Structure formats: C-alpha cells, structure tokens
Structure 1
Amino acid sequence: MPSGTPPKPPRAQWHRISSHIPEDTSHPVQVALRTYCLSLCLSLGPSLIPFATSRASAKTSKNALMRVLAREFGPRGFAFSITLALGGGSMIRELWRTLDDLDSDAPENAAAAKLRAWISVLKLSPAQKTFLSNVVSTSAGLLLLQAGRRRSQTGPASSKNPVASRTLDLTLLLLVRALDAAVQSFVARKSGGRRESDAGPPVHGVQPSRQRLASSVKRESMRTQIDSLVFWACSARIMWCFFYEPHRLPKSYVKWINTLAGLDPRVIDTLRAIRANKWSYLTGSPSHSHLLTTYARDLGSPAAWGDPSRLPAFGGAHADQVWKQLGVSTRPGVGGLPCQIIHGDVGSSLGLVHSCTANAGLRGIKVLLEAIVIYLPVQFLPVLLSRPRALLDPRRVLESLLAAVRSATFLSTFVASYWYSVCLTRSLVFARLFPFISHDFWDGPYGCVLAGCLVCGTSIWIENGRRRGEMALYVLPRALRACLPDAYWARSGTFGLRLAERITFVLSLSSLLTAASHHPHVLRGLSRWGLRFILQGPDVVAFSRDNDSSGQKPSEKQRE
C-alpha cells in the first residue's frame, strides 16, 4: 500500500467483506458462517471457563491458553470439522442444483451434461440428493474431527488403557435425535396427522378443523406417553449405573448426580462392596469395615453402628436385642444399617436425623430452592433476548414463573422420591414384611437401590408435555452409553467399533439435515430450532416458532 494512502477504517473493511456475502439466508456461505459461529461458541466457551475461574497454574498459563485457542481455531478443531460437515453438504447440494439447471445444448457444458445424464438414471428425489450430499460432507467432517481428537489423545497411557471414543457422546446424541425424528413421523401417521399439502378439500367448512384438532390431541397424547416411558427407563438405568458402574457415564454427569444426591462417598463405596460380596452383614468385611465405622464416628454416632459384623443381618426379635445392646431405638424389628448413617447429617439441627420422611422432605426442599435459581434464567433469558416486550405482560411473566417452579418441583421430587423409596424398602415397609430376608439383599443392587431407581423417574409426569420430550431426549444418549456391552469398553479402539460409530454418526447427522431441509415437521425441540437456524436463518426460525402452536408451516421460499 502506498505510504500516502490512509488505511481503511474497520467499519469500511467490514462493509467491503459483508458486501460479498449472499443475501439469501439459505446460501451455503451463510450456512457455513452460522455453523462455524455456533459450533465455535459451543466448543470454545467451555474450554475458556477454567482460565476465567481458576487460579494461576500450569493448566491455566498463557501457553495453555494458546494451545486451547490453536486447537479450537485450527483445521482439526470442532468448529471447522462441524462446519465442513454441515456447510459442505449445503455446498454440494448447491453444486448439484447448478448441474441440474445447466443448459445441455451449450458446447462448453457437454461434460456436465454427460454427468447429469448418468446421475439421472438413478432417478433420485430432491430429498435423496440432499441426503447423499450430506453423507459425503459429514463423512469428511467426522474423519477430520476424529483425527484431531486422536492427536490430543496420543500418549503412552492411551495405548495401554483403551478409553471410549472422544466422539461417542456426540454420535449417540445424533443417533437419538435421528431416531426421535423417525418416531415422530410414525406417530404422525398413526394419529392421522397430515401435512397441509396433503389435506383434502374442506367438508362443510368446519370438519377439517375438527379432524386436525382431534389428530393433534391424539398425536400429543402418544408423544407424551412415549416420552414419559423413555425418560423413566433411561433414568432408572442411569441412576443404577451411577452407583455401581459409573465408568459407563460421562464424568461430568456423574459429578452432577453426585451433587444432587448429597451422599457421602463412603456410603457409595460400601454399596459397591456389597455388590462385590466384600461387605456383608452375614460374613463381615475384614478389608472394608472401616468405610462406615469412620463415617459413623464422623457423624457423632458409635463406630459399631457402621460395623457389619456387629449389625443384625435379619429383622425380628434378634434384631431388637442387638439394637438394645448398640443403643439404637429407632429401628425395631428391622436389621441392617441404622437410617441415621444413611441420612448423614440431614435434619440434625432439627433433631430429625432419624426420620426417613424428614430426610426425603428436607432434601427435596433443598433441591427445589436450588433448582428454582437455575430454571428462572432458563425461562426468562430466551424471552428477554428474542421478545423483551413480552415481559411487560403480567400473564406472560406469571406463566414463566409457574413453568420454572414446575420444572424445579420435578427435579426436587426426583430426588425426594428416590430417598423415600430407599427407606420404604430397607426400613419402613418391605424389610418389615419380610424380616427373614437378609439385608445383604435389601441394601444390595436389587434391593433399595433398584427400588429408588425405578421410582424416581415417575416424577417426569410433573413436567409439561414439551419439557418431557426434551428431558427424554437429554437422558436417552446417556442411557444408551450406559447400556453398551462390556466388550465395547475393553475393545473401544478396534477398527470394527470405530467403523460402526462412523457409520452411525454419518447416517444420523445426514438424516437430521435432510429432515430439516425437507421434512421439518418430524423434528422438535433443540434439533428443530438449531438445524433450521443453521440451514435457513434466524428469521425462519422466529417465524416458525410464532406459528408452531397453530401447526402452520412458514411460507418461506422452497428451493425444490
């Protein structure tokens, strides 16, 4: 640049760059830009949290920050790989459209005309062309993403101890969303739901509206039942694995459940020792008896209350004699650990540490108050960012408040019902009805723990229908992860398993992208809004959200 020419201001440079960006929101360039910005926020944001919240250390040094930035902004980072997968499919589809629109009579288009004639033999529909375009781009994006993840995972420890694929959770998430789209399509057909383009002529002006209303009610009822059943089954499996096989769950999820449970690690270790027959009321536990003896002492109780060799294995008169010797007066006719040890220090300030009802109630109240603080921003922030004027409507504010309280009540009931189910099984009801059954069973994996796992998920009925669906889709990938056979965790790095994961990833993401372009009515929740935002822009998403309750589709320009 000549020395006499002043540099252009940043605003002018940005205007020059933005002038080359197509105005069509569904253009591949715009799709790639939205994909890159969104995926960069999802990957870079969590990576920068330790640098903003932790004290200075080797993990939060300037060099560590530069490595994180180089990884996330590099060509093998999450943002670039996902942009290649999503934006690349849009670009291939645009090239395919250009090929279809070429003038075959022009001599310079002779080679392209031959290619189009060869492809036309396949008689592919527009949706099939979109699917194949996405298969190509998602395959390339996944290979690039896995190459970057393997590079960050190299080292002597990784070769000796195989670990789960770094893209496993993302693959399961996409699989669940793709399966949900298939289920929603099935439900729509079974409930008589039809798209507007398939609707017949009006009958006496009113009948079609009644038919649509009846099919909508039936469809919503079927969805609610399926979502509730899925959440119940998934939560039972996840909670059971939390106690006995935590390696099957993501570490962050285990940490979150542990925070909600508020259970001392020594109690969890004891439950696992009971399952492994290393801690028993019948045979004692020479190598693990200290787990609960130290815990009982920390709670201010006699150490004998946590010693399995001193505690009664069965209920009945013999148990009463043992309790009299140990000074326990709150467990007549029942064996096993005193509930004071299980409850911890909950209710101690109120003198209710021995009460199972107070333990469950106080834990539920604590979670309720904490959950309200979490759910209030979840309810109000989207409205504040998208439609701030709605906050001036008292009815809208009240609805958001009630929705936050409802969600918080669901979570608190989940926790309280688990705890109370445990006490009902091992202390209040079942152990009293069957005193001849050892507490090795009642406190084992198929006793009180299983009862709590089966009951807590029923709290999903407190949530509204739409939230049930999102909750079911949230826990299902984790439940699938927890159901993987043991052989996977031992051979997770083999070629066959990597190939199976790649095929699942590519087919799932390609199906979702194709559905978002051609059949958006089968998508819901985050997958619907997120993919339509990426592929068609924010205006289409806002318009479709405003008209979602009436079942009307946005009248955007269809490219096919």
Structure 2
Amino acid sequence: MTAASAQPRGPGTRSLEQALALPLVLRPLLRAWVLGYLSSTTPRLLTLLLIALGRRRKNIDEKHVNAFLPSLVRILRGGLELRRFPTFCAALVGGSTLLEAHSTAKINCTDSIIFVVSYFINATNSRVYRLARCMSTFVAAWFSLRLLQSKKSAAFIDHVPEATPTGVTLRPIQFAGRTMDLTLFAVTRAVDVLVGELWAQHKSRRVAAGQWTDIERLTSTLTDSSIFASSCALIMWAWIYTPDRLPPSYNKWIKSAAAVDQRLLTALRRVRFGEMKYGLETGQAHVLQGMCKDYNLPLDYGDPVKSIPFPCEIVHMGVGKSCEKHALSRWVNSFLWAFSTYLPLNLILTLRTPSKKRFRHALESSARSSAFLGTFIALYYYGICLARTRVGPRILGTSIPRRQQIDSGICIGSGCALCGWSVLIENAGRRKELGLFVAPRALATVFPRRYLWENQWRETLAFAVSTAVVFTCVGEKPERVRGVLGKLLQKVLTA
C-alpha cells in the first residue's frame, strides 16, 4: 500500500486535507505529525487536568492554580519543537512515502532500468517496487531516529573528574539510550511480522499435505499467551530485583497494582544479594520487624536468626496465616481496583453511539479485564507462597541453606512464572495485543538503558531495518502487521 494508492478516508481527516489542498504524497506526512502530536501531548494534558481538578477540590492556594495556564502552554508548545516525537513521526512516514514516490517515478521513467535490475537480482517488477519501498523506509527511519537521538537529556549525561593543569574539573560524558524503548518496540513488531509469515507458510504447507498436528495447532493457539507470560516473568523479576531497568511510569503503575509494602521488597532484595541471611546476625532484623509491628505480628517473625524462614504471614500483610485466603483477598481487591478504572473508560467510549448492547459490552469487557488483572496479582503472590511453604520445601528440603535458596530467588521466580498465564481469561484478540505490548518492555529489562555514545549506530541500524520490514509488510501484506498498529499504519500510509 503506497502513498499513491487512494482509499476512502474519515470525514474529519479528508476535510482537513482538502482544506489544505495537500498533494496525495504529502497527506501521510500530515497524518503522522498530527497523530504524533496528539499521542505525545494528550496524556500530559490529561495528567495536568487531573492534577488541577484535585488541587481545586482540596482548595490548594492560588499559586498552584495560576500555574495551570503556563503549564498548558508549555505542553502544547513542547510538541512543536523540532527534535520531538511529532516531527519524528512526520520525518519517518513522510520521508518514507516521499522517497518511495521519487524512486518509483525513477523506475517508471525507463523500462530498461527494471529489466537490468530484474536481471541481476532475479526479481519481478513487484519485487523491484518492494525493494524501493524497503530502502526508502530504511533511509527515512535512520535519519528520523537520529533526529530524536540528537536531543540531549540530563539523565544521559554523567560528569567525571578529570585532572587538568589548573586542577580537577568535571568532564561531561554523554550516553546513548534515550530511544531504546522505541527501538525495542520496532524490533518486536518486525520479529512478529517475520516469524508470523514463516509460520503461516509452514502451516499452509502442512495443512495442504494433511500433516497439521494437534501439537502445532496448540502452539498456534498458545503463542500469544506464551509471549505474554514469558514477558511478564521478566518484567516482574526486574520489578523486584532491578527496578531501574523499567521505565519509571511503568514501575510506578506496577507498584500501585501490586499494593505491596516497600519494606517487604527491601527484605527480598537483601536476601537475594546476601545482605540478609538466615541463622546469621547481619543487623537486618529491623527491616521486617517494622512490618511486624504495623501488622500486629510477633517481632521475632522479622528476625532472620529466630525465624527460618520468615512466616508467610508477613507476605500476607495482615490478611492471616492462610496462603489461599491471602490469594483470594488479593484477587477481590485487585478486581475492584481495576474495575473502578476500566468501567468509566469503557463507558466513555460507549457515549459515541450509546445503546443497550454497547453498555452491556462495556460491562463485560471491564469485568473480564478486571478478572484478568486480579488473577495476575493473585497468581503472583500465591506462586511465591507455593515455593516458600507448599511445594518448595517438599522438593528442596528444609535446611537453612535450602530456605535461603528458596527466598533468595526461587519463590519470586515461581510467582513470575505463574502470573502471566492469567491472560488466558482474555479473548484471543486481547491476548495478542497484550503480548505485543509487554514484549518490548520485557526486552528492555535485558538490554542496557544507557550505553556508550559511539555504539549508538547499532541501535539506529536495528530500528531502521525493523521499521523497513514493518512498513514494507503494511504495503504488501497489511494483515500480517497484527493488532491496532497494523490498522493505524494502513490509515496513516494510505493517501
């Protein structure tokens, strides 16, 4: 699907493009910029509005209320800056379509060029056009990402002491990695496209030969769920032990959903890294004894010398001794917390075309998603308890070294391995979207968030190649780019 292939557009977009009298080849550029601007400013505007409403309800002084307008202007103006996300989107999509149109025109001007290229690469005319589209996107992706990377950030600059003839000065060292999340998103989608195409070809051959097995059918069914479960395992492991590998906003959201006492996380990390050991006085008893006091538990429960292991009652945070009761309470509380968030959002969406059917669908969708999140959290905590008290000691033993081993990683690994399978509650389409959503975030826990500036070309290359794969697939087989992204790219890239 090229920039020159005309398809009907929505009335709002069509009227704007007609009012501006934009040529067909420039329309994808405009759509990309508008979409990038809205996606980058809308969340910040909503946050600003919620903060302002909260301050007004609490009767905060006029000083903060009067700061609303300058903040609003700053957000709206920030999206117009050159090295921001909207310009990146416009450069990526506009550059791709403009270069493609230019290269296609060059190819069309002389049939002999097609003959020569086809001869040397053994390609049909369609493959030549596909190559032009791929190369155009590669070039546009390379330079658009470099545009984003050129914006400096204080979070990626360190100052190291350096001896000079006049004394010691601090020399700034700039690191790369600001665009890592964007690159991992592109890589994930490209891998999904390539693997999906290979699997589809494999399936068609096997079905045609009558050799499609139940194992292969089950693999197709569970692929998205497996991606989600394995990704969540990496994310939840990082959240416990290396939270700095997660984006701050994502880290904060997990913390809100998990509703866990920070002191418990501190204890788990210290057990993991050997600072807190069973049967050995290391001066760490105060970490959990503060929890014991707040939850009316014996102080000895928090002493690693006297309690081997720590009773699960500490993990239950006041719910009681039963691990099953704790898991159930987690499910109920998480369900209610999620339902109070999902239902208003889904009801707002029904206001566009309200009906009894859409209202019922909003209720069902909210309940299903809330049950999924509740089950996710309940399985996570119950997996920890299974490893600590129900299953782990029966397999590994109850000696002090084994108890230390269980609480230094095995119990958390058990919860991480179980929680993601709650996605089976969701429908197939939702499982697909969730899997593709969390996979880049899981990869971010494996790759460094900051790296040497001179190695930045590797990330740029990965992004450019991945984007070229995805954009080319949108043009050739749009159904292969799954989920909302595929539909969005079709609308943006279509003239």
In structure 1, the residue matched to 2:386 is 424
Give the whole-Å Cα distance in 2 for the aligned partners of 1:58 and 1:232: 44
Over residues 202-247 of structure 1, what are the superposed CA-to-partner deviations in whole Å (9 max), with x where a residue is unaligned?
A: xxxxxxxx98xx99x9998543221122222111111111111112
Over residues 50-86 of structure 1, what are the superposed CA-to-partner deviations in whole Å (9 max), with x where a residue is unaligned?
A: 5333365699676665554443202212101211111
Q: Note if contact 2:157-2:175 (Cα within 8 Å) is conserved in structure 1.
A: no
Give the whole-Å Cα distance in 2 for the aligned partners of 1:366 and 1:444: 28
2:312 aligned with 1:301, yes or no?
Answer: no
2:87 aligned with 1:87, yes or no?
Answer: no
Give the aligned CA root-mean-square deviation in angstroms.
3.5
Deviation at 1:534, TM superposition (A): 0.7
Deviation at 1:21, TM superposition (A): 2.6
Q: Note if contact 2:375-2:422 (Cα within 8 Å) is conserved in structure 1.
A: yes
Structure 1 residues 252 and 303: CA distance shift in structure 2, 3 A = same
Give the whole-Å Cα distance in 2 for the aligned partners of 1:60 and 1:495: 41
Q: Note if contact 1:376-1:404 (Cα within 8 Å) is conserved in structure 2.
A: yes
In structure 2, the residue matched to 1:493 is 452
Secondary structure of the corresponding residue to residue 310 of structure 1: coil
2:485 aligned with 1:512, yes or no?
Answer: no
Over residues 308-331 of structure 1, what are the superposed CA-to-partner deviations in whole Å (9 max), with x where a residue is unaligned?
A: 2222x3xxxxxxxxxxxxxxxxxx
Q: Any unmatched runs of 5+ in structure 1?
A: 1-13, 105-112, 195-209, 314-335, 348-352, 538-560
Higher strand fraction (1 or 2):
2
Number of matched pairs: 453
**Aligned counterpart in structure 1 of residue 190 of structure 2, from 178, 181, 202:** 178
Deviation at 1:442, TM superposition (A): 2.5
Structure 1 residues 471 and 495: CA distance shift in structure 2, 3 A = same
Structure 1 residues 462 and 163: CA distance shift in structure 2, 3 A = farther
Structure 1 residues 437 and 281: CA distance shift in structure 2, 3 A = closer
Over residues 360-396 of structure 1, what are the superposed CA-to-partner deviations in whole Å (9 max), with x where a residue is unaligned?
A: 10110111122233334565666654xx27x35x4x6
Give the whole-Å Cα distance in 2 for the aligned partners of 1:535 and 1:340: 56
Equivalent positions of 1:381-392 (< 5 A) are 385=352, 388=353, 391-392=355-356
Give the whole-Å Cα distance in 1 for the aligned partners of 2:337 and 2:251: 18
Secondary structure of the corresponding residue to residue 282 of structure 1: coil
In structure 1, the residue matched to 2:3 is none
Structure 1 residues 174 and 357: CA distance shift in structure 2, 3 A = same
Q: Note if contact 1:193-1:219 (Cα within 8 Å) is conserved in structure 2.
A: no
Secondary structure of the corresponding residue to residue 444 of structure 1: helix
Q: Which stretch has the larger CA shift, 171-180 or 463-472? A: 463-472
Q: Note if contact 2:114-2:128 (Cα within 8 Å) is conserved in structure 1.
A: no
Q: Note if contact 2:156-2:176 (Cα within 8 Å) is conserved in structure 1.
A: no
Q: Which stretch has the larger CA shift, 116-125 or 509-518? A: 116-125
2:200 aligned with 1:188, yes or no?
Answer: yes
In structure 2, the residue matched to 1:242 is 239
In structure 1, the residue matched to 2:404 is 440
In structure 2, the residue matched to 1:127 is 130
In structure 1, the residue matched to 2:221 is 224
Equivalent positions of 1:524-543 (< 5 A) are 524-536=482-494
Secondary structure of the corresponding residue to residue 76 of structure 1: coil
Structure 1 residues 381 and 519: CA distance shift in structure 2, 3 A = farther
Equivalent positions of 1:259-278 (< 5 A) are 259-278=256-275
Q: Any unmatched runs of 5+ in structure 2?
A: 1-14, 56-62, 122-126, 161-170
Structure 1 residues 435 and 375: CA distance shift in structure 2, 3 A = same
Q: Note if contact 1:187-1:219 (Cα within 8 Å) is conserved in structure 2.
A: no
Give the whole-Å Cα distance in 2 for the aligned partners of 1:432 and 1:277: 24
In structure 1, the residue matched to 2:5 is none
Structure 1 residues 270 and 154: CA distance shift in structure 2, 3 A = closer
Over residues 235-282 of structure 1, what are the superposed CA-to-partner deviations in whole Å (9 max), with x where a residue is unaligned?
A: 111111111111221122211111121111111001111111111122
Deviation at 1:284, TM superposition (A): 2.4
Q: Note if contact 1:162-1:492 (Cα within 8 Å) is conserved in structure 2.
A: no
Structure 1 residues 193 and 48: CA distance shift in structure 2, 3 A = farther
Deviation at 1:511, TM superposition (A): 1.3
Give the whole-Å Cα distance in 2 for the aligned partners of 1:302 and 1:437: 21
Q: Note if contact 1:227-1:468 (Cα within 8 Å) is conserved in structure 2.
A: yes
Give the whole-Å Cα distance in 2 for the aligned partners of 1:136 and 1:342: 53
Secondary structure of the corresponding residue to residue 443 of structure 1: helix
Amino acid at match of 2:142: S
2:315 aligned with 1:342, yes or no?
Answer: yes
**Aligned counterpart in structure 2 of residue 252 of structure 1, from 249, 267, 274:** 249
- Greater RCO (CA < 8 Å, at least 6 residues apart): 2
**Aligned counterpart in structure 2 of residue 415 of structure 1, from 356, 377, 385:** 377
TM-score (norm 2): 0.81
Structure 1 residues 15 and 245: CA distance shift in structure 2, 3 A = closer
Q: Note if contact 2:423-2:431 (Cα within 8 Å) is conserved in structure 1.
A: yes
In structure 1, the residue matched to 2:179 is 167
Structure 1 residues 403 and 15: CA distance shift in structure 2, 3 A = closer
Secondary structure of the corresponding residue to residue 284 of structure 1: coil
TM-score (norm 1): 0.72
- Bigger Cα Rg: 1
Over residues 3-24 of structure 1, what are the superposed CA-to-partner deviations in whole Å (9 max), with x where a residue is unaligned?
A: xxxxxxxxxxx999716134xx
Amino acid at match of 1:513: F
Amino acid at match of 1:533: K
Give the whole-Å Cα distance in 2 for the aligned partners of 1:239 and 1:88: 38
Q: Note if contact 2:279-2:306 (Cα within 8 Å) is conserved in structure 1.
A: no
Q: Note if contact 1:280-1:440 (Cα within 8 Å) is conserved in structure 2.
A: yes
Amino acid at match of 1:501: E
In structure 2, the residue matched to 1:7 is none
Equivalent positions of 1:319-330 (< 5 A) are none
Q: Note if contact 2:383-2:414 (Cα within 8 Å) is conserved in structure 1.
A: yes
Secondary structure of the corresponding residue to residue 473 of structure 1: helix
Amino acid at match of 1:171: T
Give the whole-Å Cα distance in 2 for the aligned partners of 1:400 and 1:79: 32
